[in-house]
Amino acid sequence: MGRKFNLEVVTPDEKFFEGETDMAILRTTEGDIGILFDHEPLVAPLKIGSIRIRQDESAFRWATCSSGFLTVSDEKVTVITDAAEWVDEIDLDRAERAKERAEKRIREGANKEVDVLRAKASLERATNRIRLYSQK
């Protein structure tokens, strides 16, 4: 296992994760990026996807991640995201209901003046949660 660095994942509601790891993989707007000890300083926007945090030599712990920002400095790596959820804690029924509601809002958006952009973002988050749940 490589040298460890401090990782902090923060949402508006909580400090989702704080600890040491030797590798984290996140989805940026430019694609997936792996962070190791002594990574060059960086600020990058995140898109809806996953956060993978290596917990030991072979296993990663997976979490969902909404949009946000990643910062890498000499002291630590910080992820600021709208929402994060451990994959093993996903309520699949709730995610499927959210997906159905978002799809309905998109279909009826023009007729009911629903904010279609918000509904599309909700659909993307729900689809991400369902996809990650099915991979566990």
Q: What is the 3-state secondary structure (H, E, C) of 41-110?
A: CEEEEEEEEEEEEECCCCCEEEEEECCEEEEECCCCEEEEECCEEEHHHCCHHHHHHHHHHHHHHHHHHH
Confidence of residue 2 (pLDDT cuts 50, 70, 90): confident
- Which tokens sit at 79? 């992820």
Q: Does domain 90-135 have CATH number 1.10.10?
A: no
Indicate the pTM of the whole model. Answer: 0.86
- Percent above pLDDT 90 for the chain: 78
- Name the nearest CA neighbour of 44 among 25, 57, 58, 62: 25
**Secondary structure letter of residue 39 according to DSSP:** P
**Which CATH code for domain 5-87?**
2.60.15.10
Provide the residue ranges of all domains of the chain, joining segments of one domain with +: 5-87, 90-135
Confidence of residue 108 (pLDDT cuts 50, 70, 90): confident
Distances (CA, A) of 1 to 23, 52, 54, 101: 9, 16, 10, 44
Question: Each residue of 3-36: pLDDT tens digit?
Answer: 899 999 999 999 999 999 999 999 999 999 999 9
How far apart CA 5 and CA 90 sit, in angstroms, is 27
Instruction: Report pLDDT for 1.
Output: 60
Which has more confidence, 1 or 98?
Answer: 98
Across 52-56, average pLDDT:
87
